[in-house]
Amino acid sequence: MELYQLKTFKMVAEIGHLTKASKRLYTSQPAVSSHIRSLEEELGVQLFVRSQKGMELTGHGVELKAYADKILAMTDEMASRAKLMQSEISGNLRLGLNSESEILKVAELYRRLAGHNPGLKISFLQSSSGEVLNNLEDDRIDAGFIYGVNESEKIETLSLFHFDVVVAGAESLSPSFCTCTPKELETYPWITTPADCPFHTVLKELFERHALKPQEVLLADQERTINAMVKNGAGLALVLECDTKQAGFSIWQGEKLTLPLSIAFLKRRRDDPIIQQLLTILQEIWDIDRLSEVCSC
C-alpha cells in the first residue's frame, strides 16, 4: 500500500468523479483508475461503485476512508514537525522546573534544544507548580512543568506523564506502618505542602476520603526538603514513588495515588516557534502520541 494510492482514494471519495479527481491530482484518469483498482485488490474489498452521480463509496469504502484520513493526517503532521525541526531558532527560553531535573529529563531536553539551536539562550528556573502558573501569567517564564491540573483560562498544557505517588515514612518506622488502615494514618505526624501545590490537593483528597484529621507538624514546598525530612523521621508525607527507590523510606501499601505531569505555556504563544519546538522535543522525549491534544483546562 502506497501513500499515493491513499491520496487518490481520498480525492476520488471526496470529489466523487474520476476525471475531476485526476485534474486535482495532476495526473491522468487511467492512472487514477489504476490506483483505485490496485488498492482494492490489495485490500480485498470494493471501495467504490459507479452510479449516475459518479463514484460512490461502498460501505467498506466509507469505513476505510476514515483510516486513510488518519494516515494522511499523520504523514502531514510528520512533515510539518520535520520542517519545524529543520528551522534553527534563536532568542530566550525561560523554563520553570517544578521538580528535580532527573525526574523532568532536563539534561536530555537541554541537549536536544541547544544542539539544534546554538543561538537559543536557555534558563532553568526552579519553582513549585503553583509558582510556574503564576510566573507564566506574569510573563516571568516562557513555559514550565507542573503537577496537577491547570485552571487558568490563559494557559494551555500538554500532558507528559502520570507519576505514582505514595505515602512515605522513615525506614525506621515499625513494619506495621506499611499495612496500617487509613484511619491509623492520622496517628502519625505529617509533613504537608502549601495549598497551591498539587501534592497538597492529592493529600487533602486522601484525608477527606477517609475522614482523617492528622497532626501537621511541618510545611515544606520543595521535594528534596520533604524527602530529607521524611527519611529523618519528622513525619509522613506524599512522595513520588520513584524517589523512594533510594534507601531510607517505608511505604504505606494501602492505596494507589497518581499525579499528572504537564508542560504549561500561555495560549497566546501557542504558535511561537520556540514553544512549538519545545513541545515537539518533549513529545519525543516522553514518547507521546503525535496526535495528543493540547489541553486548555
Same domain as 150, residue 22: no
Cell numbers given for 288:
507521546
Give the pLDDT confidence score for residue 183 in this predicted structure. 94
Give the pLDDT confidence score for residue 87 in this predicted structure. 63
Other CB atoms closer than 10 Å to residue 111's CB: what's the count? 12
Give the pLDDT confidence score for residue 295 in this predicted structure. 46
Same domain as 71, residue 8: yes
Q: What is the pLDDT of residues 118-158, one digit of tens each?
A: 889 999 999 889 899 999 998 899 999 999 989 899 999 99
Rounded Cα gap, residues 212 and 231, in angstroms? 23
The pLDDT of 35-41, averaged and rounded, is 92
Q: Kindly report the CATH number assigned to the domain that includes residue 47.
A: 1.10.10.10
Give the pLDDT confidence score for residue 135 in this predicted structure. 93
Same domain as 212, residue 224: yes
Q: Compare 232 and 15 and report the one with higher pLDDT.
A: 232
- 257 pLDDT higher than 80: yes
Rounded Cα gap, residues 221 and 11, in angstroms? 57
Q: Per the domain annotation, does 293 fall within a domain? A: no
CA 146, distance to chain mean position in Å, is 11
- 51 pLDDT higher than 90: no
Same domain as 172, residue 153: no
Judging by beta carbons within 10 Å of its beta carbon (0-12, 13-18, 19+), is residue 13 exposed, middle or buried? Answer: buried
Same domain as 251, residue 166: yes
Q: What is the pLDDT of residues 166-216, one digit of tens each?
A: 999 999 999 999 999 999 999 999 999 988 888 999 999 999 999 999 999
Give the pLDDT confidence score for residue 77 in this predicted structure. 77
Mean pLDDT of the chain: 89
Same domain as 123, residue 200: no
270 phi, psi to nearest 5 deg: -55, -40
The pLDDT of 277-281, averaged and rounded, is 93
Closest CA to 55 of 74, 32, 88, 77: 32
- 255 pLDDT higher than 50: yes
Count of domains forming the chain: 3
- 293 pLDDT higher than 50: no
Print the domain residue range for 65.
3-86
Confidence label for 292 from pLDDT (cuts 50, 70 and 90): very low
Question: Which residue, chain included where needed, has cell 498539587?
Answer: 198
Question: Which residue, chain included where needed, has cell 514550565?
Answer: 144
Give the pLDDT confidence score for residue 143 in this predicted structure. 97
Same domain as 141, residue 272: yes
- Of the candidates 63, 86, 109, which is a domain's last residue? 86
Q: Per the domain annotation, does 73 fall within a domain? A: yes
Give the pLDDT confidence score for residue 287 in this predicted structure. 85
- 283 pLDDT higher than 60: yes
